Structure 1
Amino acid sequence: MKQMHLRVDDVLYEKLNSYSSESDQSMQECVREAVAYYITDKKKKQNENSDPCFTFIDLFAGIGGMRLAYEQVGGKCVYSSEWNKYSQQTYYANFGEQPEGDITQVDAKEIPDHDILVAGFPCQPFSIAGVSKKVSMGKKTGFQDKTQGTLFFDVCRILKEKRPKAFMLENVKNLKSHDKGRTFKTIEESLEELNYKIFYAVLDGQSFVPQHRERIIIVGFDMERYGNNIDYKFDLSPIQPKPVMKDILEKKVDEKYTLSDKLWVYLQNYAAKHKAAGNGFGYGIAPLDGVSRTISARYHKDGSEILIAQRGKNPRRLTPRESARLQGFPETFLIPVSDTQAYRQFGNSVVVPLIANVAKLIINEIKSLENEPEEGRKVI
């Protein structure tokens, strides 16, 4: 993080000071945000004449895992939205663009036209861990969670206004069973009411990275454009040979990632307690020739779900770079935030090569549909 001194005239200073109070941000954060948006706008104008294979928007963008995937198969991102300021920081460092903030405050008409809508809408209201935590705190879950659970309907709002050729949504696999299936039924019906034909599958990232990570992927195609004679399949092409944990580990690791004696004793006692109670909660030592458990946003707390054994000393947690590799991020991906924020960000992100695989299948399906004679389509 670099520092610089900035002089502004009195009028501009007062406006910045006023905005700082209104937005509950420091003056420094306001200036950074303003500069980031300025550079983003300049970059967009410079790229207006480029001719991509297809365009897409990146909603609930996080640190840009989905964007990376769709860019890898020839796409151009024309709009992004992410409210978390630390994720915005990482996104900007890697893409040179500042995502727009709260999507609920964005007028869908102002979003650029695009071919594919991509969104990993917040999963905490539907995840097993997220639901358990909210219930224990007496909070609402699923669509009753007014802060995160209803953000799916902002996706619908944008689909209705912009009518892209297709969309891809990503969430935790528990979305399918949440609230005895009623949540997913609402999602299906909402998308079908918009005249999109939908397909979904629970896909495991371990075919692409050394991590057991199951996520539901929902894909939809515009039936007003293509009719309903659409037969999309999640026919993935796994990486060969299959990657294993030792492939992603760094050669030299700082001692700060080794668990303290106190934390290691606590995790062992915690695991023994739950084993005696007949359940499987506890730490996980990742097999070097196998795959790890799922990395989550809570990894920064103790690293217990994925620990690396070390000869002659306590196990260690993954480094942020190893966490990035575990999700399939390239070595060139910058990590400008603290370790705590990095663990949260990668734990909330996606398996990049898996998403790229799905993206390629979606593009191929669109090409196939657009090459099909109109008389052969069954329009509804």
Structure 2
Amino acid sequence: MKKTVCELFAGVGGFRVGLNGRNDNRNWDFVFANQWEPGKKNQYAFDCYAYHFGKGHNHVNEDIGTVDENTIPNHNLLVGGFPCQDYSVARTQALGIQGHKGVLWWEINRIVKAKRPPFILLENVDRLLKSPAKQRGRDFGIILYSLWKLGYAVEWRVLNAAEFGFAQKRRRTFIFAFHKNTKYYTKLSKLDSLDNWVLSKGFFQAEFPSKFLKDHLSTELMDFNDMVDISDRFKFDFKNSGIMLDGQITTMELKAKEFTPITLGQIRQTEVVDEKYFIHKDANKLEKFKYLKGSKKIQRVDKNGYEYFYSEGGMSFPDDLDSPGRTMLTSEGSVNRSTHVIEDAITGNYRILTPIECERLNGFPDNWTDTGMPENFRYFCMGNALVVGLIEKMGHQLDKIFKSEKDINIMESEEAAVTFEQLKLGI
């Protein structure tokens, strides 16, 4: 099977760097890429992507909602990291079904429906499995239902990058979907146990070995009439791993067989660092960091006049150099509770991480984002990015899968199947 890829919500190229490296030397052919930062006059992330991979007709810098899905080249793998939003749907007056405007899952769904890639690999925050709070599991249930109706099986796993040898405690949900017309799907459908797939035969286990911890649960999507019914009634306690096949869901809590992680000390720059990153000479900034990272119990009043205490635990100050970094947010580099503060390798004085160190936390090459964007946006891009080493490991599995698959036109094969069914019914 040709290793053709469509990359949605491409950012600065995390999926592409993970699959191909910075020089596209692993033969994954990215036939289409889209990146658009809403509300931004300057499209720095796209500019960074184009700087490294070139500008061309297949690198599109526009709102994905305006892209005609029929103009996207056919591809065998669709990848992308999309935001956790409200995926609920409602029935329109014309009895159609419509999701919330601007919700990017529906753009993915639209493109998958039009192009039917044999394989899909998506990334999202770990809370996707539990959202929304008032109907836990509904949003992920909608995603599974959508893909099931389009002919896919889905495996998912929440991965903490640090548990598999990387430099950041970044937990993300990865979703791997594969169409019923693939050999890979056939392999799964022949198993007598979905548990066996999750714990032994599946996509994630080879590169991210884990063992059963607790909470084996099952449910069925067939109990629901349509997407609106799922949106209205579906509620389920998804665990950190699982599989959906033919509408049947099996999920369980797994514990990673941990690797030795890379530490903050190992990714820290050992050369002289610009003074602008140091905070030890600014008493106000130093005290602000200490306060933000310290434990606190603050009395507050809600909108109804009820008094309560807001409590917050303390954080290490400075950050432990013998541990991997915490989850990096888009606010990294600002005076913020989540910003890392470390001891400088040469002076021992307190400072924030440099953009290069943030790139290292995600596994990007040094100065990957040094492409003309402001420094605060370099931090922003890394706060949005994924850990590329995880994608590199997934790429090893994808290589094996693609070698065993033949190129197929899923849309044509589905049309043929419908025609055959019509013939059987005498239509």
How many angstroms does 1:334 deviate by? 4.6
Identify which of 258, 267, 274 aligns with 1:248: 267
Q: Is the 8 A contact 1:328 1:352 kept in 2?
A: yes
Give, in whole Å, the separation in 1 of the partners of 2:366 and 2:266: 13
Give, in whole Å, the separation in 2 of the partners of 1:122 and 1:162: 22
Give, in whole Å, the separation in 2 of the partners of 1:214 and 1:308: 22
Matched, 1:274 2:293: no
Question: Partner letter of residue 75 of structure 2?
Answer: H
Shifted more, 109-118 versus 327-336: the winner is 327-336
Identify which of 210, 218, 233 aligns with 2:167: 210
- The residue aligned with 2:383 is 347
User: Aligned residue pairs: how many?
Assistant: 305
Give, in whole Å, the separation in 1 of the partners of 2:354 and 2:269: 8
Give, in whole Å, the separation in 2 of the partners of 1:363 and 1:315: 44
How many angstroms does 1:193 deviate by? 0.8
Question: Partner letter of residue 205 of structure 1?
Answer: A
- The residue aligned with 1:55 is 4
- The residue aligned with 1:104 is 65
Aligned pairs for 1:90-239 within 5 A: 90-97=48-55, 98-123=59-84, 125=85, 141=86, 143=88, 146=100, 148=102, 150-179=103-132, 180-206=136-162, 207-226=164-183, 227-230=185-188, 231=197, 232-237=202-207
How many angstroms does 1:67 deviate by? 1.2
Give, in whole Å, the separation in 1 of the partners of 2:317 and 2:105: 33
SS of the aligned residue for 1:302 comes to coil
SS of the aligned residue for 1:342 comes to helix
When the two structures are superposed, what TM-score results if normalisation uses the length of structure 1? 0.73
How many angstroms does 1:249 deviate by? 1.2
Identify which of 331, 349, 367 aligns with 2:403: 367
Question: Partner letter of residue 269 of structure 1?
Answer: Y
Q: Spell out, residue by residue over 1:4-28, the C-alpha distance to the aligned partner (whole angstroms, 9 max, x if none).
A: xxxxxxxxxxxxxxxxxxxxxxxxx
Identify which of 368, 393, 408 aligns with 1:333: 368
Give, in whole Å, the separation in 1 of the partners of 2:35 and 2:48: 11
Identify which of 9, 14, 20 aligns with 1:65: 14
Shifted more, 63-72 versus 329-338: the winner is 329-338
How many angstroms does 1:319 deviate by? 0.5
Give, in whole Å, the separation in 1 of the partners of 2:69 and 2:203: 30
Structure 1 341/75 Cα, relative in aligned 2: closer, same or farther at 3 Å?
Answer: same
How many angstroms does 1:165 deviate by? 1.4
Give, in whole Å, the separation in 2 of the partners of 1:284 and 1:275: 18
Q: Is the 8 A contact 2:88 2:139 kept in 1?
A: yes
- The residue aligned with 1:285 is 318
Which runs of no fewer than 5 residues in structure 1 stay unpaired? 1-51, 126-140, 372-378
Identify which of 76, 83, 87 aligns with 2:29: 76
Give, in whole Å, the separation in 2 of the partners of 1:273 and 1:222: 49
How many angstroms does 1:292 deviate by? 1.2
How many angstroms does 1:95 deviate by? 1.2
How many angstroms does 1:160 deviate by? 1.2
Give, in whole Å, the separation in 2 of the partners of 1:167 and 1:57: 9
How many angstroms does 1:69 deviate by? 1.3
Aligned pairs for 1:295-314 within 5 A: 295-302=328-335, 304-305=337-338, 306-310=340-344
Identify which of 282, 286, 310 aligns with 1:264: 286
Q: Spell out, residue by residue over 1:173-215, the C-alpha distance to the aligned partner (whole angstroms, 9 max, x if none).
A: 0000011111111111111111111000001111242110010
Q: Is the 8 A contact 1:103 1:154 kept in 2?
A: yes
Structure with the larger helix share: 1
Q: Is the 8 A contact 2:123 2:174 kept in 1?
A: yes
Q: Is the 8 A contact 1:303 1:318 kept in 2?
A: no
Shifted more, 63-72 versus 271-280: the winner is 271-280
How many angstroms does 1:271 deviate by? 3.4
Structure 1 159/89 Cα, relative in aligned 2: closer, same or farther at 3 Å?
Answer: same
How many angstroms does 1:87 deviate by? 0.8
How many angstroms does 1:301 deviate by? 2.4
Structure 1 343/147 Cα, relative in aligned 2: closer, same or farther at 3 Å?
Answer: farther
Q: Spell out, residue by residue over 1:195-250, the C-alpha distance to the aligned partner (whole angstroms, 9 max, x if none).
A: 11100000111124211001000001111344543253312547976422122111
Give, in whole Å, the separation in 1 of the partners of 2:148 and 2:314: 39
- The residue aligned with 1:27 is none
Q: Spell out, residue by residue over 1:93-141, the C-alpha distance to the aligned partner (whole angstroms, 9 max, x if none).
A: 1111243311111111100111100011124x3xxxxxxxxxxxxxxx5
Structure 1 270/245 Cα, relative in aligned 2: closer, same or farther at 3 Å?
Answer: closer
Identify which of 355, 359, 383 aligns with 1:320: 355
Q: Is the 8 A contact 2:2 2:76 kept in 1?
A: no
SS of the aligned residue for 1:365 comes to helix
Q: Is the 8 A contact 2:165 2:260 kept in 1?
A: no
Question: Partner letter of residue 109 of structure 1?
Answer: N
SS of the aligned residue for 2:358 comes to helix
Question: Partner letter of residue 96 of structure 1?
Answer: G
SS of the aligned residue for 1:224 comes to coil
Structure 1 runs of 4+ with >4 Å offset: 141-148, 238-241, 275-278, 281-284, 310-314
Question: Partner letter of residue 69 of structure 1?
Answer: G
Give, in whole Å, the separation in 2 of the partners of 1:96 and 1:222: 31
Structure 1 303/284 Cα, relative in aligned 2: closer, same or farther at 3 Å?
Answer: farther
Structure 1 325/99 Cα, relative in aligned 2: closer, same or farther at 3 Å?
Answer: farther
Give, in whole Å, the separation in 2 of the partners of 1:110 and 1:74: 23
